[in-house]
Homo-oligomer: A and B are copies of this chain.
Amino acid sequence: MDVGENGGPVVELRSLSKSFTEKKTGRELEVLDHLDMEVRQGRFTCVVGPTGCGKTTLLRLIGGLEVPSSGEVRFEGRPVTGPGPQRGMVFQEYALFPWRTAVRNVTFGLSLKGIPHKEARALADEYLETVGLTGHEDLYPRELSGGMKQRVAIARTLAALPRILLMDEPFASLDAQTRNGMQEFLVDLWRRTGTSIVFVTHLVDEAVFMGQEIVGLSRRPARVVRTFENNLPYPRSRTGAEFTELRARILEYLAVEMSE
């Protein structure tokens, strides 16, 4: 697949605002403030921003798990009204069903669609193969390492045939080695499947290693500070001069924005 190929916008956020009422104080907390953003078909988009700026909220709005206070979220041209299997979510905490084995986590979405047990199982086995987990199908989540859990979560989401993958700091609780491995794995997977991906992180390194587009958010209330294009060819090196240069540029830019 040609990584450079891009379609039209798959997700459009139009003047999107979201605020929460704090339970204790009753204060209004503005998290997103008239945010505009587009995600293009088939691209790997990374969203970076400081802790607590509203990255998770943004992703949940796209996923349909939150309702906007004002503005609009559109997916493939139609307004989002709730969660659905077209928009697959991968959570930081894996969110695997602990009482189901790896393969039965993957079949969860399949059997909801009414796919018969045997067929679902065969499909699930395929997806587990895709994420390199053949041989571990019958282990329970607690028997899997962090990286393996993350792969099962991805396989489970892929099996629902989403047209976009929304990932919320999925690698945050992995140790550095495993995390690097998962980044490489995800890039590889994306290049093979061609799904659109929105990947939220607070690590600029991670964004630069994976993303074609890197959307920098401001402190809360979040606005899009700037979108960086990253045309480095895949597979990327973490130590190359261009990598280091882009990383430093983004860090600096964000730092200036932050210190305002």
Question: Which residues from 150 to 208 on chain A have a C-beta closer than 8 Å to any C-beta of chain B?
Answer: 175-177, 202-203
Out of B51, B176, B177, B248, name the residue touching A239 (CB < 8 Å).
B248
Chain B residues, Cβ within 8 Å of A202: 175-176
Question: Which residues from 231 to 254 on chain A have a C-beta closer than 8 Å to any C-beta of chain B?
Answer: 239, 248
Query: Counting CB contacts under 8 A, is A83 at the interface?
Result: no
CA distance A239 to B247 in the complex (A): 11
Query: Counting CB contacts under 8 A, is A221 at the interface?
Result: no
Query: Counting CB contacts under 8 A, is A85 at the interface?
Result: no
The reply to whether A177 and B50 form a contact with Cβ atoms under 8 Å apart is yes
CA distance A51 to B173 in the complex (A): 13
A254 to chain B, nearest CB (A): 11
- State the 6 A-B residue pairs at the shortest beta-carbon distance, nearest first: A51-B175, A176-B203, A175-B202, A176-B202, A239-B248, A50-B177
Chain A residues within CB distance 8 Å of chain B: 50-51, 175-177, 202-203, 239, 248
- In the assembly, how many copies of this chain are there? 2
Main secondary structure of the interface of A (DSSP, over half): loop
Q: List 7 A-B contacts (CB under 8 A).
A: A50-B177, A51-B175, A51-B177, A175-B202, A176-B202, A176-B203, A239-B248
A8 to chain B, nearest CB (A): 35
User: In the complex, what residue of chain B is closest to A51 when comparing beta carbons?
Assistant: B175
CA distance A82 to B177 in the complex (A): 34
Chain B residues, Cβ within 8 Å of A51: 175, 177
CA distance A203 to B175 in the complex (A): 10
A259 to chain B, nearest CB (A): 12
CA distance A228 to B237 in the complex (A): 26
Most B CB atoms within 10 A — which of A50, A176, A202, A203?
A: A176
A145 to chain B, nearest CB (A): 10
Chain B residues, Cβ within 8 Å of A203: 176
Chain B residues, Cβ within 8 Å of A239: 248
CA distance A175 to B203 in the complex (A): 10
CA distance A202 to B179 in the complex (A): 13
CA distance A176 to B177 in the complex (A): 17
A141 to chain B, nearest CB (A): 18
CA distance A167 to B50 in the complex (A): 27
Chain B residues, Cβ within 8 Å of A177: 50-51
